[in-house]
Chains A and B, each alone.
Chain A
Amino acid sequence: MSGMVLGDDEWVDGWAWEANLKRESKEIALSLPPLSPPAQDMLGLLSSIGAMGMATESQFHVLAVDDSLIDRKLIEKLLKISSFQVTTVDSGTKALEFLGLHEHDQSKPSTLTISPNNHQEVEVNLIITDYCMPGMTGYDLLKKIKESSSLRNIPVVIMSSENVPSRISRCLEEGAEEFFLKPVRLADVNRLRPHMMKTKLKDPIQEKHEKHEDKDDETEKPEHVFLSIFLLEELHLPKRQLVILPNHIHVLESERTKLSFGSFGVDFGVTTSYVSGP
């Protein structure tokens, strides 16, 4: 029973119950089924999730785009020092390739699709790009990302050596989170984490919520969104303790634990079951 996907009817043992989460002003209480001490310790990290604590610190992956070799080296250093994983590319085109985006039709941005192989493997939590680049500018790249249904939630930050107010407002209007003047400093890079944390926790929940809304399922209460495997991975729960069904994550363990989350602005629930086996 380790991490396989079961059909909805393939229950093996014991009990199942549903924990509903209510969003109360600042707190969401989540009741999970029993967890082993190590898992409990890990889940204890959830209590700091409002402050977006250490569980996520070294996990963010930033894609840096700049045609200047020196600037790439500099931004890479700044990002690594801030404990981010970094990938650097020298053009917008390469950035899109890395993100798994292929343009099928230049004139219709809405037909941009994700190559199936790349999507899950490459996870990028933030894109930081130079504005002035030959070919595809940082602004063009920003637009393409925001037009892509799969990538639009990735925060984008623009860097530029020139302080042009109209340029700055154009980028912010198009959806850039921040605009940094070069040379970029550590203080600037320190502003990136909050943007990544917001999205890392919001996205999978929203995705599940959207998928859920499409499904015509009367047994599910529509207002429930389920914890994604993604979030649980953040909690470092060993995968073998999870059994994944299309809409549920089953956490297998022994005592009840009550935890609180910060507010994410959505309601979500967890279905759990006790399953015997290794």
Chain B
Amino acid sequence: MDRNHLKRQVDFMKRSFLDQGYLDEQFIQLEELQDDDNPNFVEEIVTLFFNDSARLLQNIEQALVSGPIDFPSLDNYMHQFKGSSSSIGAKRVKNECTRFKEYCTAGNAEGCLRTFVQVKQEHAILKTKLETYFQLAKQAGPSGTSGGQIR
């Protein structure tokens, strides 16, 4: 496939993620840190995020279903999760985390449970979108993304 066409597709995809609020400016910042020494930095850090967050989400799930809810502990997990989400520019995920934390602070178990479903959903959606994105970027070859080179 024409490389320029692929590159345009990649850019378009990224732009749509930004427009639809899946990602924010922080993701662009990450891409700008990518260089020849570390051409896959963004993909690496995103992969790290999804691995790390899977663990956190499991902990939260456990905390929600087993016995009386320990709100401070929940809030702590969610704080970590929200932080990482923010660091990679996962805007929608981050916003759901904020809502969750609000219910947590209010000691609202039902609110927490409902919001948690949203958190997991946004997390899964973003994961799929970014997997596609990185795959496409690789196909587009060097300078597949505006930040630097993906080989």
Q: Interface on A for B, CB 8 Å cutoff? A: 67-71, 73-74, 77-78, 81, 132, 134, 161, 182-183, 185-186
Contacts and interface: CB of A to CB of B under 8 A. Distances in A.
B86 interface: yes
A182 B48 contact: no
A161 B82 contact: yes
Contacts of B48: 69-70, 73
B33 A183 contact: no
Interface in B68-87: 76, 79-80, 82-84, 86-87
Chain B's interface: helix, strand, loop or mixed, by majority? helix
B79 A183 contact: no
Contacts of B89: 183
A182 B83 CA distance: 8
A214 B44 CA distance: 54
Interface size class, chain B: 20 to 34
B110 interface: no
Interface of B: 26, 29-30, 32-33, 35, 38, 41, 44-45, 48-49, 52, 76, 79-80, 82-84, 86-89
A68 B33 contact: no
A78 B41 CA distance: 11
Contacts of B38: 77
A183 B87 contact: yes
B87 A182 contact: yes
6 contacts: A68-B83, A69-B52, A73-B48, A74-B87, A77-B45, A182-B87
Given A81-B35, A161-B82, A182-B83, A70 B49 contact: yes
